[in-house]
Amino acid sequence: MAQTLTVAVLFSGNGTNLENLITRFHGRRFGDKSIRIVPVTNRPDAYGIKRARAYGLQTVVLDHKKFESRESFDAAMVSKLKELSADLVVMAGFMRIVTEVFTSQVEAINLHPSLLPLFKGAHAIEESFKSGMKVGGVTVHRVDSTLDGGEILDQMCVKIDPSDTLESFEAKIREAEHEILPRTVAKLLDLPAEGID
């Protein structure tokens, strides 16, 4: 009997990384394990909800505006993730800072579009592009209650060519993200890396 592992993917917007994780993992079997992706968002209007629906997946919506404080939102998120029995929690474009209410109870990883510790925060791609550096990159790190500050698990460099525009650089960042995140997820779930393409 295959063991089913549940991966909760938290997102707030477009959801390309969510979709990439769905296509690479959801309903697929890796040796004696099979994977279930559960999309979770804090925004009822997030485009990723539509992406998930195209694969027959219902998104769990916890609208942060309906909560009085960060802590009460985080507490609701924690109980939802426990209810789902998530084996892994992945933040992929989840644009919320979480408090200790979350980090003391949930182990999660986060995808960030820069070479941390450089360019933390919500404008990493643009700041990185305008920095004058010849490379930017992407990072997957553990989540703690500091902004983009947890232990770094993996990174990839992305070249900034003189011919790049912000848009072309962003496309390269997205491409790197779509490689690094599944790779880290496979590693953390102990799946064979060659199986995830």
Residue 156 has phi, psi (to 5 degrees) of: -135, 140
Q: Decide if residue 93 touches ligand GAR (CB under 6 A).
A: yes
Among 92, 116, 140, 143, binds ligand GAR (CB under 6 A): 92
Of 12-20, 64-72, 101-109, 157-165, the window that binds ligand GAR (rule: CB under 6 A) is 12-20
Q: Decide if residue 155 touches ligand GAR (CB under 6 A).
A: no
Angstrom CA distances, 73 to 78, 96, 107, 119, 153, stand at 9, 10, 17, 26, 27
x/- map, 109-148, ligand GAR, by CB under 6 A: --xxx--------x-x-----------------------x
Q: Decide if residue 156 touches ligand GAR (CB under 6 A).
A: no
Q: Decide if residue 169 touches ligand GAR (CB under 6 A).
A: no
Q: How far is the CB of 31 from ligand GAR (least distance, A)?
A: 27
Q: Cβ neighbours of residue 66 under 8 Å, at least 6 residues apart?
A: none
Q: How far is the CB of 118 from ligand GAR (least distance, A)?
A: 13
Q: Decide if residue 13 touches ligand GAR (CB under 6 A).
A: yes
Active site residues: 112
Q: Decide if residue 15 touches ligand GAR (CB under 6 A).
A: yes
Residue 4 belongs to what H/E stretch?
Answer: strand 3-11
Q: Report d(CA 138, CA 180) in Å as an integer.
A: 8
Burial label, 3 (beta-carbon count in 10 A; 0-12, 13-18, 19+): exposed
Q: Report d(CA 103, CA 12) in Å as an integer.
A: 19
x/- map, 18-57, ligand GAR, by CB under 6 A: ----------------------------------------
The DSSP symbol for 122 reads T
Residue 157 has phi, psi (to 5 degrees) of: -85, 150
Q: Report d(CA 121, CA 112) in Å as an integer.
A: 9
Q: How far is the CB of 14 from ligand GAR (least distance, A)?
A: 4
Contact set with ligand GAR (CB under 6 A)? 11, 13-17, 92-93, 111-113, 122, 124, 148, 177
